[in-house]
Amino acid sequence: MTNDVPLTSRSLPIALLRARERVMGPIRKMLADVGVTEQQWRVLRVLNEEGPQEPTHIADRACLLLPSLTRILQKLEAKGLILRRAHPCDKRRQIVDITAKGRQIIQDNIQVTVHLAEDLRTKLGPDRHEALLDLLNELRDLET
pLDDT in tens, 66-89: 999 999 999 999 999 999 998 888
Q: DSSP code of 10? A: G
Closest residue by Cα to residue 39 from 47, 54, 52, 103: 47
pLDDT in tens, 93-117: 899 999 999 999 999 999 999 999 9
Q: What angle do CA 90, 91, 92 make, to 5 degrees?
A: 90
Contact assessment for residue 76 and residue 40, using Cβ atoms and an 8 Å cutoff: yes
How far is it, in rounded angstroms, from Cα 9 to Cα 15? 7
Q: Which residue intervals of the chain are DSSP H helices?
A: 12-34, 38-50, 55-61, 66-78, 100-124, 126-141
Query: pTM (2 decimals)?
Result: 0.86
